[in-house]
Amino acid sequence: MNLNDLSILKSRFLGFPHELCRFSKLTWQSIHIIRKLNIYNFAKWALILVPIVGTFGHFLNARYNVRFEMPVDLLLTYFSALFFLASSLLADIFCPTVVRTHKDFGTFLDTFVSKADAISQLNQRTSELERNLLEKLAAEVAQDVSPETKSEAIFIQALLLQASKTLPEAALRIWNDANDQKPLIKLSITIGFFFAATIAIYISFYDAPLRVIKALRY
């Protein structure tokens, strides 16, 4: 295997998370929607209360020989909440600002157009020398390797430099660019949500009903 083959293999390996996200249509917007569900508050309280309830039950059993039965498996409940909160924390840290601060593309487009109008009015009052300086600034920003900074460069070029693209097209390009960032982290967050949901479904439809049936039988 030569260096060219290794380079191709490396590019395919590094590009796999991005292709998988694109194939499954996994975006930061969908992750952010899950993060905003009311389950977050339940998971937060579960992570706090489960150890307390478990310790109290163990104390009653050890000290007074009182068997403390719960309608759900505390350990599984704890891990379900832990997976969900850990994934939510990663989403809060790594979700691009463009997606985190806007509910959907429609709200982002409204913000984008309002900013465009303000900058367009400012641009009309600038001199040719100032516009040349802005062109140089946009060119320098565009060289940055950060995708989010590149989105800012697209914004500058589309608005200040009066690019040929229309505002909705420019806004859509920024929105899609933000949603395509950090595919490996997106997959990790999705796997965490998947484990949390799988455990929660198991508790809700199998473990808890079975415990209730056993309690009623005795």
pLDDT tens per residue across span 103-151 = 788 888 787 777 666 555 555 555 555 556 555 655 554 454 455 555 5
pLDDT given at position 10: 44
Q: How confident is the model at residue 172 (pLDDT cuts 50, 70, 90)?
A: confident
DSSP letters, 117-178, are: HHHHHHHHTS-HHHHHHHHHHHHHHHT-S-HHHHHHHHHHHHHTT--SS-HHHHHHHHHHHH
What CA–CA distance (Å, rounded) separates 88 from 43? 10
Q: Of 29, 47, 45, 144, nearest to 91 (Cα)? A: 29
Per-residue pLDDT of 187-204, as tens digits, reads 999 999 999 999 999 998
| Domain range summary for the chain, segments of one domain joined by + | 3-96+182-217, 98-179
Per-residue pLDDT of 90-100, as tens digits, reads 999 998 888 88
Q: Of 180, 194, 193, nearest to 22 (Cα)? A: 180
